[in-house]
Chains A and B, each alone.
Chain A
């Protein structure tokens, strides 16, 4: 098998808030060009983990390297090498898609020439050329999501983090968004994505399931279904979630 380059590596990564442990000893290796899914119930620690990997939040313990940079000491380097699309993506509704891209280009320190060039590229990549000069507020949610991804890719980062990019999006727009994710990965980027749509978990190369800050499963969707003898990821998720909840209840009772 071809040697694969590691894009993100963590070892015992932990984050506590007071006496609450949001992320608890997470050790993972994610490869270049991989579409890596984070699954888990609300409050499982997915967003906290992403925020640490994006250099937005310092870990309490453990190690993490993103594109080879240390999350403790090389935050500025990390920010230059990643794109981040948050749950509430921060587009300016009063600006057009074109102006949003120019604005983010400025923030990422691109030159005017680069912005002009990237803008055309991105608008066509996310399929928004016709809408470049409409007000962002007037775009359907699915379009805004694609624009938000375009903005996260503006500085051409090798790694992107997408936090619930398809929540509230209808089945058709979700598929369009996933086409875009696949094209993005095919261009050589590593894509981290969280979702509550379990059929979307099937579109990931590997998925990791978290519960109460811990990794409780990590493998390809195919192997997870095989291991738990389920036909869909939805069933795997429900089964795992229930088993671990039961176990925790017993542990607490003891």
Chain B
């Protein structure tokens, strides 16, 4: 049995077709990533999986149970962290956890055991008396995650859990996710950070309400269609314009201090030399580049 089974799901809001025939499965114990531009339908789909809205068409099964029929049973085995997770700002870390434990009817004994565990891996133990409102952004996200985990769910759904979180806290957050997964929990997570997508077992890229590609990060990168080069120069933005107007160039994207350029056909040494001259020495370095998930994402958008 798959942990999540999304079967030809459609959902519209008034005139907007948010989800237009989505079909995929998340396996038991899988860490599954959802990426896509804003408005792709990720949040709508996640809410439907969490029994919070009904699809217009199609079905969703969570651990074999229908999200439109077995709502209570699904909620008892599911943890959900929405984009705007409501922590009680005036309550302490500990009180927030207790509140969510009560909400999910976790027994006192189980609660104690689970809280100790959650403090350990979230490293929130030393802050248990601090009001949630006084935590830093990264710590708030960890507390929100802990609250979603208090009832030891079999399936965890996280909607952009690292929104606005700094790089170090983000990597700590993902270490926690990897640990939870090791315990057997299935995780479905959406993110705008492509380095996070790379840490998933499989990734679905959604666009305009549909899944346009779905595979492991390694396969997504392997199946990248075009020759990709990493290019550096004196003035990248001018260099980008230069490459954009070449007919052999497919796309150009800024990647930090370099350009990633995809070509319709493999450029030759003579091409590079000519371009170096034509750009008046602006072009300084070029080398073949292994595509990242971000390259994959951008290639599907253009």
Min CB distance B174 to A, Å, is 13
B binding-site residues for A, Cβ under 8 Å: 16, 35-39, 83, 136-139, 160, 163-171, 192-194, 237, 253-257, 294, 297-298, 301-302
Tell me, in angstroms, the Cα distance from A43 to B133 when the chains sit together.
12
Contacts of B137 in A (CB 8 A): 42-43
Min CB distance A88 to B, Å, is 10
Subset of 24 A-B contacts with CB under 8 Å: A41-B136, A42-B136, A42-B169, A43-B136, A43-B137, A44-B166, A141-B38, A168-B160, A168-B192, A169-B192, A171-B192, A171-B297, A171-B298, A172-B302, A175-B253, A178-B254, A196-B164, A196-B165, A196-B170, A203-B254, A221-B257, A225-B257, A232-B256, A241-B168
Q: How many A-B residue pairs have CB under 8 A?
A: 91
Central interface residue in A44, A168, A197, A201, by most chain B CB within 10 Å: A168
A197 closest partner in B (C-beta): B193
Min CB distance A130 to B, Å, is 16
| Given A42-B138, A170-B36, A170-B38, CB of A175 within 8 Å of CB of B167 | no
Task: Evaluate contact between B163 and A167: CB separation under 8 angstroms.
Answer: yes
Task: Evaluate contact between A40 and B257: CB separation under 8 angstroms.
Answer: no
Contacts of B302 in A (CB 8 A): 172
A222 part of interface (Cβ distance < 8 Å): yes
- Mark A239-254 against chain B: 1 for CB-CB distance below 8 A, else 0: 0011000000000000
Interface of chain B: mostly helix, strand, loop or mixed: mixed
| Given A42-B136, A202-B257, A203-B254, CB of A164 within 8 Å of CB of B164 | yes
Q: A142-B38, A172-B37 are in contact. List 17 more A-B contacts (CB 8 A).
A: A41-B136, A41-B168, A42-B137, A42-B139, A43-B136, A87-B164, A167-B164, A167-B192, A168-B164, A168-B192, A170-B36, A173-B37, A182-B237, A196-B167, A198-B256, A241-B168, A242-B168
A172 closest partner in B (C-beta): B301
Task: Evaluate contact between A233 and B256: CB separation under 8 angstroms.
Answer: yes
Tell me, in angstroms, the Cα distance from A198 to B38 when the chains sit together.
20
Task: Evaluate contact between A234 and B167: CB separation under 8 angstroms.
Answer: yes
A binding-site residues for B, Cβ under 8 Å: 40-44, 87, 138, 140-142, 164, 167-173, 175, 178, 182, 196-199, 201-203, 221-222, 225, 232-234, 237-238, 241-242
Contacts of B253 in A (CB 8 A): 175
| Given A140-B37, A199-B255, CB of A168 within 8 Å of CB of B167 | no
| Given A41-B168, A164-B164, A168-B160, CB of A140 within 8 Å of CB of B39 | yes
Min CB distance A145 to B, Å, is 10
Contacts of A242 in B (CB 8 A): 168
Tell me, in angstroms, the Cα distance from A157 to B294 when the chains sit together.
34
Contacts of A237 in B (CB 8 A): 167-168
Contacts of B301 in A (CB 8 A): 172
Which 6 A-B pairs rank lowest in CB-CB distance, beginning with the nearest? A42-B137, A43-B136, A202-B256, A141-B38, A199-B256, A42-B136
Task: Evaluate contact between A172 and B169: CB separation under 8 angstroms.
Answer: no
Tell me, in angstroms, the Cα distance from A172 to B36 when the chains sit together.
10
Central interface residue in B137, B170, B253, B297, by most chain A CB within 10 Å: B137
Tell me, in angstroms, the Cα distance from A87 to B165 when the chains sit together.
12
Contacts of B254 in A (CB 8 A): 175, 178, 203
Contacts of B257 in A (CB 8 A): 202, 221-222, 225
| Given A41-B136, A232-B256, CB of A170 within 8 Å of CB of B170 | no
B160 closest partner in A (C-beta): A168
A221 closest partner in B (C-beta): B257
Task: Evaluate contact between B192 and A41: CB separation under 8 angstroms.
Answer: no
| Given A170-B37, A170-B192, A173-B37, CB of A40 within 8 Å of CB of B256 | no
Contacts of A197 in B (CB 8 A): 193
| Given A168-B160, A168-B192, A196-B166, CB of A238 within 8 Å of CB of B171 | yes
Min CB distance A217 to B, Å, is 14
Min CB distance B233 to A, Å, is 13
Tell me, in angstroms, the Cα distance from A173 to B136 when the chains sit together.
27
Task: Evaluate contact between B165 and A42: CB separation under 8 angstroms.
Answer: yes
Contacts of A221 in B (CB 8 A): 257
